[in-house]
Structure 1
Amino acid sequence: MPQEIKITNEEIQYAEQLLLPIGKTFDAERRDFIRNFNTIDLQAVPGGGKTTALLAKLLILERKLPFGTGSGILVLSHTNAAIDEIKEKIQAYCPRLFSYPNFIGTIQSFVDIFLAIPFYISKYKKKPIRIDNEIYDEKIKACVDKIWLHRFNLSNDTNKKVAHIKNNNEGLFYDVRFQFSNGIRLVKKLNGDVLEIKKPRGNARNYCDYSQQEKQEVCRWFLEFKKTILKSGILHFDDAYFLADVYLNKIPGIKTILQKRFAFVFVDEMQDMDTHQYNLLENIFYDEGNSVSKIQRIGDKNQAIYNSVKATDIWQDRPEILRLNGSQRLSKPIADIVKKFALYNDDTFDIVGRNECTIKPHILVFENDTIEKIIPLFAQIVRKNNLANSEKPIKVVCWNTEWSDDADLQDTTKLRLEDYYKGFKKEKGKPKQDYDNLKSYLLYYEKKQTLESLRKNILNAFLKILRLENINTTDDRSYTKKKLIDFIYNTDVQKYDELNLNLYKWSIGITQEKTNEVWSSIKAYTPTLLAIFNKTISESLDFINNASRDMRVEKTENLALTNHYIEDGLKIEITSVHAVKGQTHCATLYLESFYKKGYGNYESERLRNQFVGAQTVTETLATVKNSHDLIKQSTKMAYVGFSRPTDLLCIAVHKERFEKLLSDINRDEWEIIEVKK
């Protein structure tokens, strides 16, 4: 632990000059946090500038490196995007912070590098090939497709039962996880229930479940199956946390080493951590209050909607909590509304809107036959308030987006985003590392200034072909990109030069939108590649030629245009609430949507008391089954969605629900507009 750190006004001014607009300074709330180096929680309201305050603290701390004890700083967040933002904003000013003994990365990368991989090497005497969900599922599929080859010295009767499960419940093979809790056990997904084997139902009249002994035998099969996958070097992200738990249990001194390595630990977006991530960080760096590290958890418990919105929160408050109640994003009219939707709002909670704008939040009241007029009306309101030319984006958001069942799509009592905007098509997320067909590798890649991401994608496609053809290294492991390149170089330098030239030509061709020509060229080259290994195309034929198995195969430009409403130069993006978490908009339209049944189906029903200014979420509502959880989930989603805009917030509510539940709403706070035909 370094000696006591004191921050001067001059040091804070240095950070202000680098991070804030000219003339802006940190207020007392933020200065209190910047100067605090105790184990604390920082709870910040939307637009509270928590990340900027953290960056200021890091800029100042970097000038005091190296610490006399040889310790460093650990900065963790949940996503690569958050880490990239930190690097983009301050790496040029504090290079020492991004080198040993410091570490800045995602929680997953921390667990992989410091815990899972070292333990894996110590146990198996080799590195894992990859820790990645996509290739893990690919490995499971390869095993399941040839499941009769994996007997594990168990009886034929047990193998038949496993085959029966495969034919009726194949998803179970992908879901099995190891979990360490006073010993190793099998669970169905991490943090899930203990794996329970059930006989798949056939003819109901003749149904008879497996006996307890039969279940134990089948469970033994799954245990050996999972151990085989782990030993192969293909790990699910969840496996990394399992290995980390075992490592810390078997060698408790690792915890002490990590605490001495990192004097200060900063965890941004703490509310997004899942149970296993939360527990791991608490075990290592809080250590029941005995840790020599000082850990500061930063976030907003009211915005816990990462991936899915959960009713249960695992983040338990520290004895010392600092708050950032001032929002630079929100205006006073919007802030006064948003704070009514905060689940966690004790006496110290407030949202003070500091953006100077006086536009009241709007409720747009629509009927079934005016639903398609909502977004055009929103565009009119944007123009009326002179917001159309704002540099900040204008967006329409909705909790639930698409229907998986056509029957629901035809039900006018159930609404999701595609019912409001017929052209909406859910985006498939960022480019992946692996796809179901060769062409997808050429269509989906990170758009960068260099050709490197395209080169990597094409090489990843070749690695997939090698895996499908069961072509492995001499130690029977899957090839990596480096090992593939090295092998070809050592085998035939002329073939190595040919591949490099092709990779360049193919990458250039894709940037010139000649994807089909590149696809044909790679297909023609693949036999040459496989010939180096004395192989021909066999198991990979469908992967190479098929362009339809992966639903992502479509023009990304068309997808981007589909999800926008464009009118006379005004471009409004149509998207989900999850997609805009953390963003700042000029104007936001929130469309209520159907989410399960119980204490109403829509936000206006479940949150009617918040809309009219009263608190709703109390334990008394738990008398209605699941209603309490549904209200909490809806509250979190509304809180995130409503807190995006700086100037204009609009919420669309059906006329029937509005007249029944919100007719006495405070019209001094809300502007009510009926959507006309």
Structure 2
Amino acid sequence: MKIKDEHIKEAENLLIDGNEFDLEERVPFIKDLNTCDLLAVPGSGKTTALLAKLYCLSKNLPFKDGSGILILSHTNAAVEEIEKNLKSYCPSLFEYPNFVGTVQSFVNTFLANQACQVKYGSYIRQNDDELYNFEVNDFFYSLKWSKRGQEPKNLINKLFGLVNAGRRVEFQEGKEKILDFLKRFYFDISERKLIYYNRTILKHDSPNQPYYIELENWKENLFRKGLLNYRDSFNLADWYLNNYSEVKLLLQNRFRYVFIDETQDLESFQIELIEKIFNTDNSNTKIQRIGDINQSIYNSGKSVKTNADWEPRNQRFLNGSKRLTKEVSELVNCFTLDRQKDDNGDARFVVNGLRELQKPIKPHLVLFNKESIGKLEETFKELIKENKLEETIESEKYGFKIIGWSAKWDDNGSNNDKLRLENIFSNYNKESKSKKETFDTLSKYLQYFNKDKSSLEPARKTILNALIAVLKLENKTYKIKIRGQEIERYYTKSELIKDIKNQPDNDVYENFKSLLYQWSFEIMVANKASQTYNSIKNFIQNEFKEWFNLEINDGVKTFLDEEYNELVNIVNLTEDVPLNKEEIPVEIGTVHSVKGQTHCATMYVETSYINYESEKLNIIAKKATKTKPEIILPNPLLYEEHEYRTNKDSRAKETLKMMYVGFSRPTHLLCFAMLKENLVEHVEKYKNSGWEIIDLTD
């Protein structure tokens, strides 16, 4: 089968307003139907090229052998983009035997759901990390610590030693590590072992078998309920393929072509599973993976990847960026970590800016100190006005953004004086919320709790804390024996849950869990705090009152308020926070939050993650001696091609990737705000390299 030129012409009319795909890079890729990987620079229109190929292929549907096309991406947003652009023109592409969806939905649909039914007698009911974490919390708080000298140790004592092995930790930190383990461990169903950050913690065939079995039973009971986290789907799918190998052949026959967009965002277990299905010796399926390996900046552990899990093969390249100008691309190219060099050492992955402006704009280096941080936003706006960018089409379409690597300090920065976004831009962290966990009304519990985490856990925690506050107002306690003496204590979250579990009616606890999940979702996601308030208030005055024999005294009545009291100035910390509503609106966010975005103008402000970006890029390969000067590696901030060493310079490589993503956002203006104290060369050297210099410290 061949892609016809007439169909490419139709795709050009539909997708790029009748312009033409270039004959050097895009047309050859569109026509290539063999297994290959497309590596594309930022703003190159790689997804558009994929859409054109899919459109052309759809003109050949249905295939004579009854096979179809599998189109996968990492996110639902990317899948929706494909549907939005193509579904009305080629609806057959979205019908059987074809499949368009995320990698997760593909694995669930064709493998994990069947595996769960075969092995555990249940279809997947919930595939959700948040709901799974609720179960983890319940399990964790149900575990009992063994007494000093008790043998064998209870599971939680054993886990404390295993997950904290080789580390000196405080008790609370060690407990949090156990909780993290329960949320993140990889359950290898085939080999019967539990893996945590690439380390086997427990396995069936070992002296610790009883502990393994206790955790395996808990995990498999969740599977029997149809409750999985996202990673579990892949573990079940892998087990299914190992035990029913004929499924591979069925899937290979079903899908003649597999296309994967944004491949750099996939993790190794996702890539390996797709390869295990389709890339076998006798497979006729053609696989094409598309993305930018230099933009793989995050994984499930939230750390920056210095190397993408995706290892490209049979590479094709899109090096022309329609987003970037020549002036910006020359700098961005210096921040390309993996240049995909050929056998002669020549780079095959090169960022070439194709956008042309009537008045070219150099990248601007803005030097600041702690006394002048208040000038950064206004300086950015002045540059926008100076270049009349607010009058451009791109201004209205993409807007202006200030970005940084590190947003805020977990400890509010109390133990150092380095800067993150919250220290530089007061508007970024303008929140009327408290870090404390106790308040005097239910309304405040549902509004003033710490929302720093993008999960349901903070809402769950504050609801439980509100229930504990009610028990405290009613002077309700539980009894505990310490050294043979019975002591009364106010309720904790774990004791509260334990007492609810011990209610005579077996359905009480399951119903409470469902309510807790529903309330948390309504607060954190659905923005229905008012409705949730009424539901919780009604619950306290009825079921909760009955369970704990409450009077609903005057203190509790005051705590509940007569009605929901919406508190003013509640502004959540999000990744995109409008700074103000002035003439030129500028938004602030992290580098992670703008990945994939286009801006008219971008200001990247260096912040401290271990150290500042400019510090981490200054690598001293050899210290000076009496006879020889120090050797400093090339610095990409000076438009120099980096020469970072294999298995070394990991912090510099992380920084390179973050700045590559951040620097490659703007269509017109790029600014980098650097602390002047971090200059490693005279300012003239930066100017001669290609920067326009603005010094706010003068």
Q: TM-score range with shorter-chain normalisation?
A: 0.7 to 0.9
1:433 Cα deviation from its structure 2 partner: 11
Q: 1:128 to 1:157 in 2, by over 3 A?
A: farther
> Deviations for 1:596-652, whole angstroms, at most 9, x for unmatched residues?
2699744567996112232224326x5xxxx52111111111100000000000001
Q: Choose the corresponding residue for 1:656, options 677, 680, 687.
A: 677
Task: Please say if 1:194 is aligned against 2:200.
Answer: yes
**SS of residue in 2 equivalent to 1:222:** helix
Task: Please say if 1:116 is aligned against 2:116.
Answer: no
The RMSD of aligned alpha carbons is 4.2
> Deviations for 1:434-477, whole angstroms, at most 9, x for unmatched residues?
9517989xxxxxxxxxxxxxxxxxxxxxxxx9xx8899x99999
125-134 vs 304-313, greater mean Cα deviation? 304-313
Aligned mates of 1:538, 1:260 — CA distance in 2: 61
Task: Please say if 1:24 is aligned against 2:19.
Answer: yes
Aligned mates of 1:562, 1:67 — CA distance in 2: 45
1:272 Cα deviation from its structure 2 partner: 0.8
1:524 Cα deviation from its structure 2 partner: 6.3
Contact 1:423/1:562 (8 A) holds in 2: no
Aligned mates of 2:387, 2:367 — CA distance in 1: 19
Map 1:221-236 to 2 at 5 A.
221-236=214-229
Q: 1:270 to 1:428 in 2, by over 3 A?
A: farther
Task: Please say if 1:399 is aligned against 2:391.
Answer: no
Aligned match of 1:384: 386
Q: Which amino acid aligns with 1:302?
A: N
Aligned mates of 2:619, 2:351 — CA distance in 1: 24
Q: Choose the corresponding residue for 2:609, options 586, 589, 595.
A: 595
Aligned mates of 1:126, 1:384 — CA distance in 2: 63
> Deviations for 1:123-166, whole angstroms, at most 9, x for unmatched residues?
1222132111111111121222223599xxxx984463535757
Q: Which amino acid aligns with 2:284?
A: V
Aligned mates of 2:58, 2:569 — CA distance in 1: 45
Q: Choose the corresponding residue for 1:570, options 574, 584, 589.
A: 584
Task: Please say if 1:635 is aligned against 2:641.
Answer: no
Q: 1:178 to 1:641 in 2, by over 3 A?
A: closer
Aligned match of 2:564: none
Contact 2:35/2:286 (8 A) holds in 1: yes
Aligned mates of 1:145, 1:339 — CA distance in 2: 51
**SS of residue in 2 equivalent to 1:70:** coil
**SS of residue in 2 equivalent to 1:360:** coil
Q: 1:567 to 1:435 in 2, by over 3 A?
A: closer
Higher helix residue share: 1
Q: Which amino acid aligns with 1:298?
A: I
Aligned match of 1:80: 76
The two structures have a TM-score, normalised by structure 1, of: 0.76
Aligned mates of 1:39, 1:601 — CA distance in 2: 42
Contact 1:604/1:653 (8 A) holds in 2: no
Task: Please say if 1:411 is aligned against 2:407.
Answer: no
Sequence identity (%)? 36
Q: 1:370 to 1:584 in 2, by over 3 A?
A: same
Aligned match of 2:181: 175
Aligned match of 2:128: 132
Aligned match of 2:94: 98
Aligned match of 1:493: none
Aligned mates of 1:43, 1:556 — CA distance in 2: 43
Q: 1:520 to 1:599 in 2, by over 3 A?
A: closer
Contact 1:603/1:638 (8 A) holds in 2: no
> Deviations for 1:22-80, whole angstroms, at most 9, x for unmatched residues?
x4221121111111110000010100000011111112222221111111111111111
Unmatched segments (≥5 aa) in structure 2: 161-170, 342-346, 431-450, 465-496, 562-566, 621-632
Aligned match of 2:468: none
Task: Please say if 1:322 is aligned against 2:316.
Answer: yes
Aligned match of 1:610: 636
**SS of residue in 2 equivalent to 1:194:** strand
Task: Please say if 1:332 is aligned against 2:311.
Answer: no
Aligned mates of 1:93, 1:546 — CA distance in 2: 56
Contact 1:331/1:356 (8 A) holds in 2: yes
Task: Please say if 1:276 is aligned against 2:269.
Answer: yes
Contact 2:616/2:651 (8 A) holds in 1: no
Aligned mates of 2:502, 2:235 — CA distance in 1: 28
Aligned mates of 2:506, 2:154 — CA distance in 1: 34
Aligned mates of 1:605, 1:259 — CA distance in 2: 48
Aligned mates of 2:325, 2:414 — CA distance in 1: 37
Task: Please say if 1:353 is aligned against 2:357.
Answer: no
Unmatched segments (≥5 aa) in structure 1: 198-211, 441-464, 485-502, 548-552
Aligned match of 2:428: 424
Q: 1:179 to 1:47 in 2, by over 3 A?
A: same
> Deviations for 1:209-260, whole angstroms, at most 9, x for unmatched residues?
xxx95x4543443333333333333211111111111111111111111111
Q: Which amino acid aligns with 1:657?
A: N
Aligned mates of 1:332, 1:675 — CA distance in 2: 27
Q: Choose the corresponding residue for 2:296, options 286, 293, 304.
A: 304
Q: 1:133 to 1:555 in 2, by over 3 A?
A: farther
1:580 Cα deviation from its structure 2 partner: 0.4
**SS of residue in 2 equivalent to 1:169:** helix
Aligned mates of 1:48, 1:145 — CA distance in 2: 51
Aligned mates of 1:126, 1:538 — CA distance in 2: 35
**SS of residue in 2 equivalent to 1:424:** helix
Q: Which amino acid aligns with 1:631?
A: A
Task: Please say if 1:11 is aligned against 2:7.
Answer: yes
Task: Please say if 1:436 is aligned against 2:430.
Answer: no
Contact 2:129/2:228 (8 A) holds in 1: yes
Q: Which amino acid aligns with 2:292?
A: D
Contact 2:130/2:455 (8 A) holds in 1: no
**SS of residue in 2 equivalent to 1:306:** coil
Aligned mates of 2:502, 2:251 — CA distance in 1: 40
Aligned mates of 2:652, 2:39 — CA distance in 1: 22
Task: Please say if 1:185 is aligned against 2:193.
Answer: yes
**SS of residue in 1 equivalent to 2:238:** helix
**SS of residue in 1 equivalent to 2:77:** helix
Aligned match of 2:248: 255
Q: Choose the corresponding residue for 2:61, options 59, 65, 75.
A: 65
Q: Choose the corresponding residue for 2:597, options 583, 586, 597.
A: 583
Contact 2:115/2:236 (8 A) holds in 1: yes
1:555 Cα deviation from its structure 2 partner: 6.8
Aligned match of 1:522: 535
> Deviations for 1:560-583, whole angstroms, at most 9, x for unmatched residues?
799333374111111000000011
Q: 1:536 to 1:92 in 2, by over 3 A?
A: farther
Q: Which amino acid aligns with 1:37?
A: L
Q: 1:181 to 1:292 in 2, by over 3 A?
A: farther
Q: Which amino acid aligns with 2:422?
A: E
> Deviations for 1:177-222, whole angstroms, at most 9, x for unmatched residues?
3444972211125xx210169xxxxxxxxxxxxxx95x45434433
> Deviations for 1:391-428, whole angstroms, at most 9, x for unmatched residues?
1210001111111123x35633x222112212223986
